[in-house]
């Protein structure tokens, strides 16, 4: 059974900003990339522990999937059976900032 996905405000803003940035050059590519991100996050809902533990934090519930060049960072809450999307972080920006 899939866990419901909850997008934090920060993650929603990350998605809007990156799609907007790509759309300034290629709106079709921006839409495709945005859809690919959502598809990857849906994988986390189906298999919450499939992503690797975020190396910088080493917290078992804080995981990430890679959709190059972005790190899709999410937190698994088994007690509520939810996946919280925390950040969409460009790998070139260094270590992710988690609120």
Beta bridge partners of 50: none
Residue-level pLDDT at 10: 98
Complete domains list, the chain, with CATH? 5-93 (3.30.2310.20)
DSSP string of 40-73?
Answer: HHHHHHHSTT-SEEPTTT--TTEEEEEETTEEEE
Q: Is the pLDDT of residue 1 over 90?
A: no
pLDDT one-digit tens code per residue, 19-70:
999 999 999 999 999 999 999 999 999 999 999 999 999 999 999 999 999 9
Q: Give, for 32, the enclosing helix (H) or strand (E).
A: helix 27-46
| Kind of pairing between the strands at 5-7 and 82-90 | parallel
């Amino acid at each position: 059974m899939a866990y419901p996905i909850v997008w934090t405000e920060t993650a929603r803003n990350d998605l809007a900003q990156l799609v907007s940035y790509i759309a300034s050059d290629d709106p079709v590519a921006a839409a495709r990339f945005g859809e690919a991100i959502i598809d990857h996050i849906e994988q986390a809902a189906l298999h919450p522990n499939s992503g690797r533990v975020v190396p910088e934090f080493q917290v078992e519930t804080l995981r990430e999937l890679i959709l190059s060049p972005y790190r899709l960072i999410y937190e698994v809450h088994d007690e509520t059976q939810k996946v919280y999307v925390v950040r969409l972080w460009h790998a070139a920006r260094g270590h992710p900032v988690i609120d």
